[in-house]
């Protein structure tokens, strides 16, 4: 099948590459010519395990190409995916300008039947808006607009696309349903479902899924905070409730709040949708409040330990990405924590396996950037662990001790056991567990 993917960001690039991997002819379109030139050489603008290997292979096999020529891509493709940015505006609403602008352009380019697929995360009713724009210049028989939300987890996005738990498609015509079924059949050969529904329900499904997961994280963070006050250990509580199949084990790890490109934006957008429909979504509002407060927990612990004297202290940070196996720092808790430390007059040295350059773009020369995890510790008053990269799980604790001014660790991801930290002689504070002195 001939496919066009408009937008080569995180979702667009994974989508295009994985469709090419199953034998389709894919052309990806972007306005950024520098990015297009890099992609044509197989250089990805994002870090995602496994993606570059697939991209290189499909470029070599001539199954995927990159261009800034929307007209050619639109005319050649049967299915056109819109994988465009929908950033949050000041009020939390998803900004649809890029989606609607491309829809306007497509309305002047389409001359034969196309399926236009909203792959971007968009508010309920967006498919209808796109359809209305296309209908201004095109007869209704020349297109169908479909909602096909993505459920990709950064760090395992390639596997998620190639082996999806489910595929959700919001479509109203049998013709579009048949094409989308043919397109996704290779990905669900083991029997995982393709759910067909109306476009509004598909759009709501994406927001509801992410908001529910964000709620689980925030609930567990509240439990962790209560555990600290009552003397309970959140690790045991998590295991105890996670074994209940009605609750499940995933998204129950407490920490310093959720971040990334999806949860913060989608929770805000769904809350705004509720407000626009005169509904007070109290639970969702609480999720937003809890997450904002949770990002401040580490700095609160630092202030307590250092008796509100953070000025002129030096802190080493391990982990900057919002989660492991990605270089994405969008809404990462680390960014807010760094800002608070700088405002308090502290010096901050940072290390992350892949996200350093993205952080440098935000803070410039305000930080000290380290090429090695142990180099970052030299003469620091404490180590802060903000992302649970595998490389941090079994470090050389003697090196940590020798480089720090004192053996002090504040762990925002509960990477180490309390027993081990006590045995090694660290002052260790984590989330939802007793402090080790």
71-109 tens-digit pLDDT:
999 999 999 999 999 988 878 888 999 999 999 999 999
CB-based contact 114:105 (threshold 8 Å): no
Closest by CA to 112, choosing from 80, 66, 158, 155, is 80
Phi then psi for 247, rounded to 5 degrees?
A: -100, -50
Q: Do domains 2-197 and 295-429 have the same CATH topology?
A: yes
- Domain boundary assignment for the chain: 2-197, 206-293, 295-429
> How far is the C-alpha of 248 from the C-alpha of 29, rounded, in Å?
40
CATH 1.10.1040.10 describes domain 206-293:
yes
Looking at the structure, give the CATH architecture of the domain made up of residues 2-197: 3-Layer(aba) Sandwich (3.40)
Of the candidate CATH numbers 3.40.50.720, 3.40.50.920, 2.40.160.20, 3.40.50.800, the domain formed by 295-429 belongs to 3.40.50.720
Task: Provide the b/e sequence for 34-56 (b: ≥16 CB within 10 Å).
Answer: ebbeebeeeebebbbeebeebbe
pLDDT value of residue 87: 87
Active site residues: 262
pLDDT value of residue 261: 85
pLDDT value of residue 91: 81
Describe the strand order of the beta sheet including 408-411 as a list of residue ranges.
368-369, 347-351, 314-318, 382-385, 408-411, 427-429
pLDDT value of residue 92: 80
For the chain, residues with pLDDT lower than 70 are none
């Amino acid at each position: 099948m001939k496919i066009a993917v408009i937008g080569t960001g995180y979702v667009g690039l994974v989508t295009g590459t994985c469709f090419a991997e199953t034998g389709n002819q894919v052309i990806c379109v972007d306005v950024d010519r520098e990015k297009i030139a890099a992609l044509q050489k197989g250089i990805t603008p994002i870090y995602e395990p496994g993606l570059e290997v697939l991209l290189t292979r499909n470029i070599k096999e001539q199954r995927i190409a990159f261009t800034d020529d929307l007209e050619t891509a639109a005319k050649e493709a049967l299915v056109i995916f819109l994988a465009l940015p929908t950033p949050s505006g000041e009020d939390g609403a998803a900004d649809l300008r890029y989606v609607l602008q491309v829809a306007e352009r497509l309305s002047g380019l389409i001359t034969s039947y196309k399926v236009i697929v909203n792959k971007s995360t968009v508010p309920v009713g967006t498919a209808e808006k796109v359809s209305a724009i296309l209908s201004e210049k095109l007869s209704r028989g020349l297109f169908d607009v479909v909602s096909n939300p993505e459920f990709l987890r950064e760090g395992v996005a390639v596997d998620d696309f190639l082996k999806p738990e489910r595929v959700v498609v919001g479509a109203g015509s049998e013709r579009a349903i048949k094409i989308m079924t043919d397109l996704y059949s290779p990905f669900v050969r083991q029997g995982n479902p393709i759910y067909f529904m109306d476009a509004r329900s598909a759009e709501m499904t994406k927001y509801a899924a992410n908001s529910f997961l964000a709620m689980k994280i925030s609930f567990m963070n509240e439990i962790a905070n209560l555990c600290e006050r009552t003397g309970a250990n959140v690790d045991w509580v998590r295991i105890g409730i996670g074994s209940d199949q009605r609750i499940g084990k995933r998204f129950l790890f407490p920490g310093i709040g959720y971040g990334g490109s999806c949860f913060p934006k989608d929770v805000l957008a769904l809350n705004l949708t509720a407000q626009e429909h005169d509904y007070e979504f109290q639970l969702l509002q609480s999720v937003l409040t809890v997450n904002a407060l949770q990002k401040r927990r580490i700095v609160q612990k630092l202030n307590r330990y250092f008796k509100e004297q953070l000025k002129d202290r030096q802190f080493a940070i391990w982990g900057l990405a919002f989660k492991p196996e990605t270089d994405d720092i969008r809404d990462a808790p680390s960014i807010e924590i760094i800002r608070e430390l700088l405002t308090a007059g502290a010096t901050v040295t940072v290390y992350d396996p892949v996200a350093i350059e993205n952080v440098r773009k935000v803070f410039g020369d305000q930080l000290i950037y380290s090429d090695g995890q142990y180099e970052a510790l030299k003469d620091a008053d404490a180590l802060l662990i903000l992302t649970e990269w595998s490389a941090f799980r079994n470090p050389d604790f003697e090196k940590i001790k020798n480089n720090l001014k004192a053996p002090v660790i504040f762990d925002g991801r509960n990477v180490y056991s309390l027993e081990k930290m006590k045995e090694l002689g660290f002052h260790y504070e984590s989330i939802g567990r007793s402090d080790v002195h």
